[in-house]
Amino acid sequence: MKAIVYRQYGSPQVLRCEDIERPSPGSSEVLVQVRASSVNAADLEYLSGVPFITRLGSGLARPRKTILGFDLAGIVVDVGSDVTQFVPGDAVFADLFDHGFGAFAEYVCAPESAFAPMPSQLNFEQAATLPHSGILAIQGLSRGANIEPGDRVLINGAGGCVGPFGIQMAKAYGAEVTAVDCAGKLDFLRSLGADHVLDFEQQDYTRSGKTYDWILDLAAYHPLRNCQRALSFRGQYVMAGGPFGRFMRLLTFGPFLTLGTSRRMKMLMWKPFNSEDVAALIQLVAAGAVLPRIDRVFSLEEVPDALRLLARGEAQGKLVIKLSTESGTRHRQDPSRPPC
pLDDT tens by residue, 92-135: 999 999 999 999 999 999 999 999 999 999 999 999 999 999 99
Do 171 and 217 lie in a common domain?
A: yes
Question: Nearest-5° angle of CA 277, CA 73, CA 11?
Answer: 95
Q: Under a CB-based contact definition with an 8 Å cutoff, are residues 47 and 41 in contact?
A: no
Q: Is 297 found in the same domain as 258?
A: no
> What is the domain extent for residue 217?
145-267
Q: What is the pLDDT of residues 188-241, one digit of tens each?
A: 999 999 999 999 999 999 999 999 999 999 999 999 999 999 999 999 999 998
Residue 339 lies inside a defined structural domain of this protein: no
CA distances from 303 to 25, 78, 337 (A): 25, 26, 9
Percent of the chain exceeding pLDDT 70 equals 95
In a domain, 283, yes or no: no
Contact 333, 339 (CB under 8 A): yes
The number of beta carbons lying within 10 Å of the beta carbon of residue 255 is 12
Cα separation of 183 and 164, whole Å? 15
Query: What's the pLDDT at 258?
Result: 79
Q: Which residues pair with 108 in a beta bridge?
A: 32
Give the per-residue pLDDT at 192: 98
Is the residue at 74 inside a domain? Answer: yes
CATH number of the domain encompassing residue 196: 3.40.50.720
The per-residue pLDDT for 340 is 38
Q: Quick check: is 329 in a domain?
A: no
Domain assignment present for 257: yes
The verdict on 160 and 112 lying in the same domain is no
Number of domains in the chain: 2
In whole angstroms, give the CA distance from residue 274 to residue 16.
32
Please tell me whether residues 113 and 13 are part of one structural domain: yes
Q: Are residues 181 and 254 in the same domain?
A: yes
Q: Render pLDDT for 271-305 as a digit per residue (tens, 0 to 9).
A: 999 999 999 999 999 999 999 999 999 999 999 99
Pairing of strands 196-199, 212-217: unpaired
Q: What is the 8-class DSSP label of residue 67?
A: B
Same domain, 108 and 154: no
pLDDT value of position 56: 87
Residue pLDDT, tens place only, 142-187: 999 999 999 999 999 999 999 999 999 999 999 999 999 999 999 9
